[in-house]
Amino acid sequence: MSSPVFRLHNTLSNRIEPVEPLEPGKLRFYSCGPTVYSYAHIGNFRTFLTADLIVRTAREIGLETHYVSNITDVGHLTEDDVADSGGEDRMALALSSKEGKRFANVWDLARFYANELLRDWSRLNMIEPDVRPRATEHIAQQIRTVEALIDSGHAYETDSGVYFSVDAFKDYGRLSGNISGDNLSETTRELVVDDEKRNVRDFALWKKDPKHLMQWYSPWGWGFPGWHLECSVMALEYLGEQIDIHGGGEDLIFPHHECEIAQAESYSGKQFARYWVHTRFLQVEGEKMAKSKGNFLTVHELVSDAASGGRGINPMALRLSLISGHYRKPYNFTFDTLRANLKHIERLEQSLDVARNAPSGTSDVAARITAASERLLAAMLDDLNTPEAIAALLDGIKTILTCKDGISDEDRSAAQQFLSRVDSVLGIINEEGSDSPESSEEDDEFAATIEEMLDRRQRARASRDFALADSIRNEIEEMGVEVMDSPDGAKWKRITSIQGIDAGE
RNA sequence: GGUGACGUGGCCGAGUGGCUAGGCAAAGGUCUGCAAAACCUUGUACGGCGGUUCGAAUCCGCCCGUCACCUCCA
């Protein structure tokens, strides 16, 4: 048996290619992380989830995967065209916003949102990178790299900073197809105005700016590093001069990744990354997600409980929603599909219960469950075809649920193997996190009230006073709780709803 | 203007020359005092117009529409 082949779309070739690591059996993977100037939104997380699925799938087939993802905690500029004359710094902007007023300084703000990122990351049951480097902790390395690029003739200093010379790197533009500078039309805003730049396309490696809120001392005076530099430097530091896969959002193809290639390859003289994987932006309810449209959704808001102003969504359902579209296609995130995914997660939990606790029986579905399991992995190996994988997931769950009244030993074992694969590859089973809403005293009181009402209802049913029983149930439902009668008595659970969307239902 | 992607049933989303994707919603049924859950059943869609072919949602051409990137948004 040959080992399974993992195929991914490579932006460099615009083709789906088998992933063949430089060093057989060992995968070096770098995924671009966010700038932490606010809560990360679901679009950010769609990209991070693509990385997460790459790691999970690679490990499932036994590739020893070294996974690095950074945190950008330097405030880069919102507009390059005004950068030289004092453009705005993202962090500084966030600091002066209403929300940012509570932070003492940009360092504090970056620290806060970096912590929140990690919190959202773990809520979505995402794999922690082996190394999670921060830009501000790699300034010295960045300065050394700039010096090396100047020494080798790939960069030069001007009054405003140090620029990378695009003319000194022949492959510039290969990744994005932006080969010439001429294709920038009048619809594009003007490029950086700096008479000392040798080519308008040259980009900054170091900005001189003694007024910047975050600044460091360098051979070129006080200032801060260019945005593209940090990822190249940190990838080189933790993964070596040549990595296998480099990923990020589609917007990073140009200029960020194009510039990374230029810097890293000029520095090392070797091909930097062999596979480039990019995630398409998602839309919300059919529209581009934008703060101005009011459809800017953060993971923080969606999964926080209602009491603290969130929408109280099960993080696993959110995770499933965000991976339910193919990563290279525009995905339309809607509350309708989120609601469907809440049901899927409930059924998944039921299937776990069946696999563990269903009584012994004579079911005969092991072959079907195993087929679903194989189909699931095969779909993921085929350029992360998550919609197909989820179809296999649902088929497996459905099959397992048919065994709830009795399951054979063979089927139980197949079911457990299936669920274990679902756990490791899709990451939508998070049992530690699932009962996360810390059981507070309020919850205990609430439960006691419901139990008491159910007792009264049970007595009414016993005396066949169904009208009373039903009216009690209606009362319970108005409290947001669903009642389910079963052979071992009535069970209840909170009705899954999305705060702010299902209000009044 | 340049580059790239995409348009599939009420909705979300696979497929990419002939063979049921799947899910949500909906309808009917089994079960139940009634429900809920679960299970079973039902649904013939591929933006438009041409062309290639025995046969096209799938290939080719044109058109229409949507979206993204083109110097710092994942």
Q: Which residue is nearest to nucleotide B2 (CA to C1')?
A: A183
pLDDT per residue rounded down to tens, chain A (505 residues): 467 899 999 999 888 999 999 999 999 999 999 999 899 999 999 999 999 999 999 999 999 999 999 999 987 765 443 333 345 677 888 888 877 888 998 899 999 999 999 999 999 999 999 999 999 999 999 999 999 999 999 999 998 899 999 999 988 888 988 776 555 544 344 445 566 788 878 888 998 888 888 899 999 999 999 889 999 999 999 999 999 999 999 989 988 999 999 999 999 999 999 999 999 988 888 888 877 777 788 999 999 987 788 888 999 999 999 999 999 998 899 888 999 999 999 999 999 999 999 999 999 999 999 999 999 999 999 999 999 999 999 999 999 999 988 999 999 999 999 999 999 999 999 876 544 444 567 778 888 888 889 889 988 898 888 888 888 888 888 887 888 888 778 888 777 677 766 643 3
Cβ neighbors of A102 (< 8 A, separation 6 or more) are none
User: How many Å does it take to go from CA A314 to C1' B26?
Assistant: 26
Q: Are residues A250 and A201 in the same domain?
A: yes
User: Nearest nucleotide by C1' from A473 CA?
Assistant: B35
Nearest to residue A379, comparing CAs of A327, A341, A344? Answer: A327
Q: Which of residues 354-393 of A touch strand B (CB under 7 A)?
A: 385, 387-388, 390-391
Q: Which of residues 165-194 of A touch strand B (CB under 7 A)?
A: 166, 176-178, 181, 183-185, 187-189, 191-192
User: Nearest nucleotide by C1' from A251 CA?
Assistant: B69
Domain boundaries, position A202 = 9-279
**C-beta atoms surrounding A362 within 10 Å:** 9
> CATH number of the domain that A325 lies in?
1.10.730.10
Answer yes or no: is A468 CB < 7 A from strand B. no
Distance CA A215, CA A50 (A): 33
- Count how many domains chain A has: 3
> C-alpha distances in angstroms, A129 versus A9, A155, A243, A415?
22, 32, 15, 29
Q: Are residues A158 and A274 in the same domain?
A: yes
Q: Are residues A225 and A370 in the same domain?
A: no
Answer yes or no: is A51 CB < 7 A from strand B. no
Residue A423 inside a domain? The answer is yes
3-state helix, strand, coil in chain A (%, to 5): 50, 15, 35
Cβ neighbors of A236 (< 8 A, separation 6 or more) are A145, A264, A267, A268
How far out from the chain centre does Cα A347 lie?
Answer: 24
Q: Are residues A363 and A449 in the same domain?
A: no
> CATH number of the domain that A105 lies in?
3.40.50.620
User: Nearest nucleotide by C1' from A204 CA?
Assistant: B71
Residues A433, A425: contact at Cβ < 8 Å?
no
